[in-house]
Amino acid sequence: MHEIQLHNTLSGKVEPLLPLKPGQVGMYTCGPTVYDYAHIGNYRTFVFQDILRRFLKWRGLKLNHVMNLTDVDDRIITNAAAAGVGIREYTEKYVQAFFADCKTLNIEAPEHWIRATDHINDMVALIQKLQQNTYTYPSEGSLYYRIAKFKDYGKLSKVDLSGIQAGARVDNDRYEKESARDFALWKAPKPGEHFWETPIGAGRPGWHIECSAMAMKYLGETLDIHTGGIDLAFPHHENEIAQSEAATGKPFVRYWLHAEHLLVEGEKMSKSLGNFFTLRDLFAKGYKPSALRFALASVPYRRQLNFTFDGLQQATSSVERLRNFAARLKSEKFPVGNQRGMAERIAQAANDYDAGLSDDLNTARALAAMFDFVREANIAMDKGEFRQGDVAAALEFLESFDKVFAVLQDTDGERLKELGFGSGEGGVDDAEIEKLVGERQAARARRDFAASDRIRKELADRGIILEDTKDGKVRWKRK
């Protein structure tokens, strides 16, 4: 086991992870704003968070992971009003879609999935605390945060406020503010808008306050890890720090982790460029969830990931190679005993794998360790040197790999079906496959290869691939 090292945006360095309470990690990850279906760029970040989550758990840390769902913001209010429904009703569809997408991508549920609108009181309480500490000022019914009073402002994103002049183009807000960088904690309601009646007045929360309030409610005033997309570092996370630390006087977060963005064909993904994809768009084109997860996970999170369909195809092949190996390990019968040196080799591969992930979640390195082992074990099997006694250890390594990567289980079909893709019909059940395989084996036995190939072709057309193995048996898989 290697020491877990993570890149902390706060220090700009890779640091050893030393949780506040040894053995336990409190982690807050910024989730989606549920005004529409989340896109693959969002999922790049969510998959990164999931890899982090799974890795920490696999390493035996007790994890308390909170993910928020932002279900109140300008876009939601606008869209809900346009649709003539309440914001809760409007967002529900996208919340459910998000949960379904996560399940499809094998993104584990965090310990707490929470919604902003369920925590208005917590936000109000936090704002009141800021009022007491005189970090706020009112203006036209709204409440603003006075950045000038928070001397550490900019420590996360390294922004230099000295160059920012009030009235510069950053000031798009219609409200009166003391300084251009000041941000709204609580927004006065506009006519017809959804609002909450609270001790600090009628209105709705500003964007940043929800994360401060909810993170501290569930994880305490100082949390170990907070993550999100790189774009959130400023201003969102910077403002979270300002709010939280001004209220408590304590460090808000010890490790800030930010995922780089995903590009599509080298360009920023945007609806106007026509390179904007949701998961459903890709599944409709026939790509598998496991392939997308692999594609998103295989590039280390601090690198921009250039998403291409060619890359998705490459990921598909990589996943197949791993699954083929797992299937071979499980189905082939090897000679009894243990191969000399194989146990040590497996231990070494597992060690290299752990070293990769421990190094700031270097998934590419971890995968290389996995693939190295796959090749070596295949060679041993081809030579007839691999022994049955080593199967268990090899499988154990594969399982530990999949605890984090989660791509080996061949459940793509089922998961897609749950999402509404791939009609139930046309599927071939196992019994029928076994029956046809039996018929083909009989044909082969009497060297009737025409009949044999006909059956293989028929199954192939229905998505079943047959592989004849050395020991005369047949292994099949779904394409």
Partner RNA sequence: GGCGCGGUACCCAAGUGGUAAGGGAGAGGUCUGCAAAACCUUUAUGCGUGAGUUCGAUUCUCACCCGCGCCUCCA
- 357 touches RNA (CB under 7 A): no
Smaller CB separation from RNA, 418 or 445: 445
Kindly give, in sequence order, each residue whose CB lies less than 8 Å from that of residue 79, ignoring residues fewer than 6 positions away.
Answer: 35, 90
Amino acid at 45: T
| Alpha carbons 468 and 366: distance in angstroms, whole number | 31
| Alpha carbons 106 and 272: distance in angstroms, whole number | 30
Smaller CB separation from RNA, 20 or 402: 402
- Binding test (CB under 7 A) with RNA, winner from 69, 381, 404, 459: 381
Cβ at position 452, least distance to RNA in Å: 4
- 310 touches RNA (CB under 7 A): yes
| Alpha carbons 403 and 340: distance in angstroms, whole number | 28
With CB under 7 A as the contact rule, which of the stretches 55-63, 82-90, 137-145, 265-273 interacts with RNA?
265-273
Site for RNA in 144-203 (CB under 7 A): 157-160, 164, 170, 172, 181, 183
How many C-beta atoms lie closer than 10 Å to residue 105's C-beta?
Answer: 21
Q: What does the per-residue mask of binding to RNA show for 73-112, with x meaning CB under 7 A?
A: x-x-------------------------------------
Cβ at position 23, least distance to RNA in Å: 27
- 302 touches RNA (CB under 7 A): yes
With CB under 7 A as the contact rule, which of the stretches 20-28, 129-137, 369-377, 393-401 interacts with RNA?
369-377
Kindly give, in sequence order, each residue whose CB lies less than 8 Å from that of residue 171, ignoring residues fewer than 6 positions away.
Answer: 177, 180
- 313 touches RNA (CB under 7 A): yes
Q: Which residue has the tokens 């758990």?
A: 57
- Binding test (CB under 7 A) with RNA, winner from 4, 262, 349, 436: 262
Sign of the Cα torsion 422, 424, 429, 432 reads negative
- 228 touches RNA (CB under 7 A): yes
Helices within 249-341 (DSSP H only): 279-284, 289-298, 309-331
| Alpha carbons 186 and 87: distance in angstroms, whole number | 18
Smaller CB separation from RNA, 12 or 22: 12
- Binding test (CB under 7 A) with RNA, winner from 4, 8, 17, 41: 41
| Alpha carbons 53 and 109: distance in angstroms, whole number | 10
| Alpha carbons 472 and 432: distance in angstroms, whole number | 20
What are the backbone dihedrals phi and psi of residue 196, each rounded to the nearest 5 degrees, phi first?
-115, 140
- Binding test (CB under 7 A) with RNA, winner from 194, 328, 387, 462: 328
- 372 touches RNA (CB under 7 A): yes
Smaller CB separation from RNA, 111 or 453: 453
- 362 touches RNA (CB under 7 A): yes
Site for RNA in 390-429 (CB under 7 A): none
